[in-house]
Amino acid sequence: MTKTLENKVALITGGTTGIGRDTAILFAKHGAKVVISGRREAEGKEAIALVKAAGGEGAFMQSDVSKTSDVQSLVKKTVDTYGRLDVAFNNAGIEGGWLPLLDMPEEDFDKVININLKGVWLCLKYEIQQMLKQGGGGAIVNMSSVAGYIGNAVASHYVASKHGVLGLTKSVALEFASRGIRVNAVCPAVIETPMADRAFGASPLIDRFRAMHPLGRFGKPIEIAEAVLWLCSDKSSFMTGHDIVLDGGMLAGPNPNA
């Protein structure tokens, strides 16, 4: 197997479960030294154990991406541990409580925006600062969603955050393209993760949600991880400021078989 991230140092936020964890393991298999961050230490240690079981090298660093000091410390510790930063997957995010606009507490809106959008902005700022110190060059992928393209009547805060990530991705990609730093995003539909279980798993409408995907199923974390790997590798060297939609056909239109 060709190791597309050989000798690269990768940082993955929200890497303790789901898409982030599968991406960390895949990165490790492709030769990267992987730093995983998240808020839960036990899950972080489990994820690093899986990275090492896959033959990789990695470290867990506890952090909250909505806090400037945590993000600064995370990037610094990554460089202190492995000497540099080459690629990053800004994946940390929460779904928040889905409620109609008039019922949504202001603190819920602030929390979702602070983690899903401000957190990506902070990570970009300090990741790119480090990449520039190294002389430029690097690849960054931000986590958006199909919610970055469409609305949801009871998830206005989540939808706003994911639309914002796409605008942020385009703007930052333009700003640093001349320095060789590529910035792209991924936009999954419903993926089989703990977040999806919280949002959809107990819903009596679960079959209806599944039917919104013309392929007839939810996605798997590894299917998103493979796209992130490609975007972080030299195989996508002419791509920046864009996103990949991985949605089982959802955005193509209504499922004719639903």
Q: If 0-12 CB within 10 Å is exposed, 13-18 middle and 19+ buried, where does residue 50 land?
A: middle
* Cα distances (Å, whole numbers) of residue 134 to 79, 117, 156, 178, 181: 11, 26, 39, 15, 11
82 classed as catalytic: no
Give catalytic status of residue 69 as yes or no: no
| DSSP bridge partners of 185 | 142, 243
Degrees, nearest 5: CA angle 251-255-258? 145
Among the listed residues 37, 63, 144, 161, the single catalytic one is 144
- Of 145, 158, 233, 236, the catalytic one is 158
Which of 8, 33, 118, 162 is the catalytic position?
A: 162
What residues contact 254, with CB distance under 8 A and at least 6 apart? none
162 given a catalytic annotation: yes
Q: In what order do the strands lie in the sheet with 33-38?
A: 57-62, 33-38, 9-13, 87-90, 138-143, 181-188, 243-246
Residues 48, 15 contacting (CB under 8 angstroms): no
Name the residues annotated as catalytic.
144, 158, 162
